[in-house]
């Protein structure tokens, strides 16, 4: 289920200190903003293995504090015109709008196809990627809260596999929540609930 977005990004990064999350993880604010746009849009995580490795080495208290900081940073950034502009661009690219050939010359057939598809699939497009970024954020927050509420943090592992075969079939987001740990997820859930309340 590719719907958990920036909350999964926050968990994956495991965050860092309250004082300087970006410096601690060697991530620039610009890179963080790009990740926020793509994570909200596609519900996928876009970050390097080195960042994840560094984040996982931090003490739990720092991960919890950093998770809160990263989610709050995402919330504030999502209110900016820059975020909406970048999200709109990302959305148009994913939906195939404004396609061009490599030389930058519009492809007439693609333009016609897109115009027809846009009319026929407008409702589907809006449901998949709402034009209003606030609606998308609400979807992602709700999805995170739904998934994270089902995680069994007492699940047993046999090596890197779950002892319970049912858990092995769970989504990547569910497993990521499990690996993040109860304290980090609880902090992320509290931040998500507060954010959702502001949006509704």
Residue 122 — φ and ψ, nearest 5°? -55, -45
pLDDT at site 97: 65
Grouping H, G, I as helix, E, B as strand and the rest as coil, residue 179 is: helix
Question: Alpha-carbon torsion 177, 183, 186, 191, what sign?
Answer: negative
Domain spans, the chain: 6-98+107-115+130-150+183-199
Residue 23: the pLDDT is 64
- Closest listed residue to residue 37, CA positions, set 145, 129, 174: 129
Per-residue pLDDT of the chain (200 residues; tens, 9 = 90+): 444 555 555 555 443 334 455 565 656 667 777 777 777 776 654 444 455 666 677 788 888 887 888 888 889 999 999 999 999 998 888 887 655 444 556 666 566 666 665 566 677 788 888 889 999 999 989 989 999 999 999 999 998 899 999 999 999 889 888 888 899 899 999 999 999 999 98
Between vectors from CA 182 to CA 178 and to CA 186, what angle results, nearest 5°? 115
Q: Would the pTM of this model clear 0.85, i.e. be above it?
A: no
List helix spans (H) across 14-153.
21-24, 29-42, 49-56, 60-78, 81-94, 108-120, 122-128, 133-148
| Helix axes 182-199 and 6-13, enclosed angle (nearest 10) | 150
């Amino acid at each position: 289920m590719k719907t958990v977005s920036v909350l999964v990004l926050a968990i994956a990064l495991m965050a860092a200190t309250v004082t300087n999350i970006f410096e601690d993880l060697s991530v620039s604010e610009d890179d963080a903003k790009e990740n926020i746009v793509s994570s909200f849009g596609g519900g996928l995580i876009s970050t390097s293995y080195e960042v994840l490795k560094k984040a996982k080495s931090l003490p739990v208290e720092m991960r919890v504090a950093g998770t809160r900081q990263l989610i709050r940073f995402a919330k504030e950034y999502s209110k900016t015109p820059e975020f909406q502009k970048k999200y709109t661009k990302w959305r148009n690219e994913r939906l195939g709008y404004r396609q061009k050939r490599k030389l930058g010359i519009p492809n007439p057939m693609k333009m016609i196809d897109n115009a027809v598809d846009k009319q026929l699939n407008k409702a589907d497009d809006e449901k998949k990627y709402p034009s209003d970024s606030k609606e998308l954020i609400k979807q992602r927050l709700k999805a995170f809260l739904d998934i994270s509420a089902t995680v069994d943090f007492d699940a047993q592992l046999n090596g890197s596999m779950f002892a319970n075969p049912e858990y092995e079939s769970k989504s990547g987001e569910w497993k990521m929540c499990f690996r993040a740990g109860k304290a980090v997820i609880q902090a992320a859930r509290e931040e998500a609930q507060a954010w959702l309340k502001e949006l509704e």
